[in-house]
Structure 1
Amino acid sequence: MEKKKLAEILFEKGKRLGFEDMEVFIKSTTNFDLKIFKKEIDKYSISNQEGLSFRGIYNGKMGYSYTEKVDETSIDILVEEAINNAKVIDSDDEEIIYEGSEEYKEVCTYNKDLENISKEEKIQFALKLEEEALNLDDRVETVNHCSFGETSEYSLIMNTKGLELENKSNMALAYVSVKVKDGDDIKTAGKHIISNDFSKFDAKKLAKEAVNEAISLLSAESIKSGEYQTILRNDVSASILEAFTSIFSAESVQKGLSLLKDKLNEKVSSSLITIIDDPFMEEGISSTGFDGEGVATKYKKLIDKGVLKTFLHSLKTAKKDGVESTGNGFKGYKSSVVISPTNMYIEKGKSSFEDMLKGVKEGILIIDVQGLHSGLNTVSGDFSLSAQGYLIENGEITRPINQITIAGNYFEVLNDVDEVSNDLDFILPSGGYIGSPSLKIKRLSVAGK
C-alpha cells in the first residue's frame, strides 16, 4: 500500500477511537556493506529496514506505538498500543503535534549517480584500497580493516494538522586501517572518506594517508609530565567536541546537566571560537530541511566569537523556555524525540596548519585520543584521555610521542584557544556530523614519564 494512503487510513481509525491530533513517521533504510581481507571479500551484505511510528493525543496525553510491518494489517494494533501507552504516562510535560513551519528550505541530500554505480565497481574500489595500502611500504604488515558502505534513506512525516514532509538521502563511506611493523615496534592508523559523490573516492590517496600516519608513529616514546603548548589536530578537536555536544542541548540545560545553564549572551570561550549548527551545509551528511517533529531547520551560531547565543531546542524544550524550536528534535521510528545537532562545527580561522605549527617553540601535536566515552564528564567538563602525537620543537615536528595522558576541563580549553587553523574537517557521523579545524591551546596538562 502507498505510504501516504496508509497514514490516512491510520488517522481515520485513530479518530474513531478517540484520538485528537495524530502523526505518522515512516523511515526506510537500505544498507550495502562490504569488507575486504587478504584480497578476498570477507563480508558482503545488503539489508533493508523499514518502520512506522504512530503517536497521538488521547485524553490529553501523548501515546506512542511503532511497527516494522508497514502495511494495513498493523493499523489496529498501532492504535490500541498508543491508547494503552497514553493511559500509563504520568509526565506533566505537554507535547504537541506540530502544524508546520511557514517555510522550508529545499536541501539536496540525494545523489542518484551514487546508486547507479555498480556493485562490481564498488568491490573493485575496496580491493584496490587494500592493495594500495599493502604495496605502499614494506613495513605494512597487514590491512586490518578495509571497508566500503553505502546507505540510502527515505522518511515521511504526516499529521492530522496538514503537515506532509518527505526526504530522501544517500551517502557512501570508505575506511581503511593499517598495521605497520618495524622490528618489535607496531603502530596502527586509519583514515576514511564519506560523501555521496563516488568520483571523490580515491583509493590510492586514502591508503597513502593511513600508511604515512602509521609509519610516522614508529619509534614513539613518552615525554616528561608537565604543561605543554598543545595543538589539537582537526579530527581530535572534532572528536572531543562530539563528546561534549550534549552541553548545548536545551534538555540537558533544563535538567541542570550543563554548565552553560544561565549563560546565554555571556562569554564562555575564547573570542576566536564560533560554533555553528548548519543544516543546509553543502555535502553535509546531516543536512536536512526539517527535523523529526516537522520543524523547519535553521542555521545558527551556538557560540559567536566566544559568546553563547542559543541552545539546541526541540518543540518541548522550546515551549519550556518560551522560545522557538531550533529544529533539532530528531527521532527514529522506535524512539521518542531527542535533541541532536545537524552539521555542527567550529568555524575555521585564517591560519594555515603549517603556520600554526611554526608558532610553537616547544609543545605537542595531538593526533589521536582514546577513552572519550569513559574519560570525560560532560557535566563538569573534565577530561582525562590517553593520547598520541608528535613533539614540536622550534616550529617543527621532531619525533612521535605516545603513552601520554592529556587532562583538563573542556570549558577552560575553549577559553585557552589562542589560534584557529583553516583546516576544517569532519569526523565520522554519530548523532550529528561534527567538524573542527585544528586548535592551538595555550597550555594543557600532560602526564607522561
Structure 2
Amino acid sequence: MLARFISSFSEQARQAGITCLQYYVEQVEEQRLQVYEQELERLQLADVTLVYVEGEYKGQLGSTFIENPDPELFAEHIANIKQMAECNNTSFTPLPFHRVSEPLAQTDDLPTSLLVEKLKAAEQAAYAQDQRVKHVSECSFLSKKKRILLLDDQGNRMEDCLQYYRVGMGVVAQAGQQVQTARLAKLARNINELDMTGLAEAAAGRALSMLNAAPVETGNYPVIFHNQVVCQLLLTFLPAFFADRVQNSMSRMGGQLGQQVANAKLSLVEDPDFDLGIITRRFDDEGSPTSKKAIIADGILKSYLHNRRTAEKAGVVSTGNGFKRDYTEKPTISPTNLYLRQGTSTLADLQKEMGTGLLITECDGMFAGANPVSGDFSLISKGYLIDGGEVVRPVAQITVAGNFFELLKQVSSIGCDYDSTGSENGFVTAPSLLIPSLAVAGE
C-alpha cells in the first residue's frame, strides 16, 4: 500500500512540475492502558501511517504532510508543496541515502488481558503496603512501536525502528492532615524488564517515607542528588550542548570545545546502542548515521550535537542528531541515549562519605525554575536529612539553588546506582552525585 501510494503521488507531482520527491514515513503502533480502582479505565489503541513529503519546485524546497493517503486529496497536497516552495527561500537538499544494517527485530506485546491483570495486581500491591496509602492516582502502561522509513522517487530506501514500554505509578499517602505523593515511571526496550508490582511498591514506599516531612534551616549543605534528579537535570540543561544553541549564542558551552567544563571524573556519552537506552536508531531523521560519541570525556568538552544544518554552518559532519519532534516539523537537534558514566560508590557509600547533609530525591518545577542558557536553577525539592551517613527524617518545603555548569565542576563523588528517564526525544541514564555544598532555603 505504501509503495503504491508513493508511486502514484510521485507521478502526479511530477506532472505538476515537482521533482526530486523524498518521503519521511512513520508507521506507529501504540497501546495505552490505565487501571483505576481495579477497573480498566482506559484502553487506547492506535495504528497509523504518517508521511512528510519534500520536493523541488522552481529550484526551491516545498513540503507537505499527509495523514490520509486518499488519491482524491493528492491535488491539495501537491498545491501545498508548490505554495511552500514559492514562499520559501530554501534550496532543495537531497537525503544522504546509504547502506544500513537490518533494523532490530520488534517483539510481540503481551496479551492485553494479561497486562490489565498485571496493572491490577500492581495497584493492589501499592494499597497493601500500608493502610496510610489512600489513593493510587496512576497505574498505567504504554507500549510503542515505531517504524521510520526514508524514501525517494528514485527507489532509494532506508528503514529504522524503535520499540519501548513505559509503566507509571502514582501514590498518595496520608497521616492525619499531612499528605504526601510519589510518582515513579520506568521505560525499557524489553517488557520483561518492567516490574509493575515492584514499581508500585516503590512508589508507595516513597510516599510513606515522606510523611511528616519538614523543612531544614536555611543554609549551605552537602547534597546528594539522587539518580532520577540527576537525569532530570541533564535533560533540562542538555540543550546547552546543541550546536544550534551554541551558534545562536544561547549556551554557556560556546567556545568551550577542548576545555575543562566538568570534574575530571565526569564523562557524558551518547550511544544509540546503549543497553539501558530505548532509542535504538542507526540513522537520524535526516539520513545521517548515528554513532557513539563522548560529549564530555574526563571533564573535557569533546563535541556538540549537530544536525545537517548546524554541521554545514560549522564546517563539520553531522553527528546524526537531526530528529523530528513531530512528523509535520523539520528536524531539530535531540539525542538518542545519553549516559553519565557511573562510578563505584553505592548510594549508602555516598551517604557515609557525605556524613551530614541532604539526599534530594525529587525536584519540582524543573522547567520553570531552571534556565538552560545561564545554568541557574532554583527548585522546590524533597528528600531526606542524612546524619552520620544514615537517614534521619524526611525533608520537604525546601528550595535548592545553584548553577548546573558550576555543579558539574563541583561533583566530588559519583554513584554506581544507575536509573533512567526521558522519552523518544531524548533518554538519559545517570547515577547519584555528591555535591560538597549547595544553597538550601528552608525555614
Normalising by structure 2, we get a TM-score of: 0.95
For residue 206 of structure 1, the aligned residue among 184, 196, 199 is 199
Displacement of 1:161: 6.2
**Alignment partner, residue 69 of structure 2:** 70
Between the aligned partners of 1:72 and 1:187, the Cα distance in structure 2 is 55
**Alignment partner, residue 233 of structure 1:** 226
Between the aligned partners of 1:109 and 1:408, the Cα distance in structure 2 is 44
Change in Cα spacing, 1:71 to 1:350, as seen in structure 2 (3 Å) is farther
**Alignment partner, residue 416 of structure 1:** 410
**Alignment partner, residue 45 of structure 1:** 44
**Alignment partner, residue 60 of structure 2:** 61
Change in Cα spacing, 1:74 to 1:299, as seen in structure 2 (3 Å) is farther
Q: Please state whether the residue corresponding to 2:113 is helix, strand or coil.
A: helix
- Aligned residue runs from structure 1 range 236-255, under 5 A: 236-255=229-248
Q: Are residues 1:98 and 2:102 paired?
A: no
1:81-129 CA distances to partner (integer Å, 9 max, x unpaired)? 11110111246xx56222224x5355526223x2xx2111011011111
User: What amino acid is aligned across from residue 307 of structure 1 in structure 2?
Assistant: I
Kept in 2, the 8 Å contact 1:28–1:49? The answer is yes
1:68-92 CA distances to partner (integer Å, 9 max, x unpaired)? 113434433222211110111246x
Unaligned runs of 5+ in 1: none
Q: Please state whether the residue corresponding to 1:359 is helix, strand or coil.
A: helix
Displacement of 1:276: 0.9
**Alignment partner, residue 440 of structure 1:** 434
Kept in 2, the 8 Å contact 1:143–1:178? The answer is yes
For residue 324 of structure 1, the aligned residue among 317, 327, 330 is 317
Between the aligned partners of 2:250 and 2:139, the Cα distance in structure 1 is 39
Please identify, of 288-297 and 76-85, the stretch whose mean Cα deviation from structure 2 is larger: 76-85
1:390-434 CA distances to partner (integer Å, 9 max, x unpaired)? 111121111111111011111001111111111121114262111
Kept in 2, the 8 Å contact 1:285–1:343? The answer is yes
1:327-348 CA distances to partner (integer Å, 9 max, x unpaired)? 1111232111111110112111
**Alignment partner, residue 373 of structure 2:** 379
Between the aligned partners of 1:436 and 1:37, the Cα distance in structure 2 is 32
**Alignment partner, residue 300 of structure 1:** 293
1:193-214 CA distances to partner (integer Å, 9 max, x unpaired)? 3224333333331222111111
Q: Please state whether the residue corresponding to 2:412 is helix, strand or coil.
A: strand
- Aligned residue runs from structure 1 range 276-425, under 5 A: 276-331=269-324, 332-425=326-419
User: What amino acid is aligned across from residue 93 of structure 2 in structure 1?
Assistant: I
Normalising by structure 1, we get a TM-score of: 0.94
Kept in 2, the 8 Å contact 1:56–1:97? The answer is no
Kept in 2, the 8 Å contact 1:342–1:432? The answer is yes
Kept in 2, the 8 Å contact 1:35–1:147? The answer is yes
Between the aligned partners of 2:46 and 2:117, the Cα distance in structure 1 is 21
Unaligned runs of 5+ in 2: none
Between the aligned partners of 1:70 and 1:423, the Cα distance in structure 2 is 48
- Aligned residue runs from structure 1 range 183-194, under 5 A: 183-194=176-187
Displacement of 1:184: 1.5
Between the aligned partners of 1:186 and 1:124, the Cα distance in structure 2 is 29
Q: Are residues 1:111 and 2:107 paired?
A: yes
**Alignment partner, residue 223 of structure 1:** 216
Kept in 2, the 8 Å contact 1:23–1:55? The answer is yes
Between the aligned partners of 1:171 and 1:12, the Cα distance in structure 2 is 37
Between the aligned partners of 1:246 and 1:9, the Cα distance in structure 2 is 41
Kept in 2, the 8 Å contact 1:348–1:436? The answer is yes
Count of matched residue pairs: 442
**Alignment partner, residue 7 of structure 2:** 8
**Alignment partner, residue 27 of structure 1:** 26
Q: Pairwise CA RMSD of aligned residues?
A: 1.8
Between the aligned partners of 1:171 and 1:323, the Cα distance in structure 2 is 32
Kept in 2, the 8 Å contact 1:279–1:297? The answer is yes
Change in Cα spacing, 1:413 to 1:90, as seen in structure 2 (3 Å) is same
Displacement of 1:20: 4.1
Please identify, of 360-369 and 189-198, the stretch whose mean Cα deviation from structure 2 is larger: 189-198
Kept in 1, the 8 Å contact 2:55–2:92? The answer is no
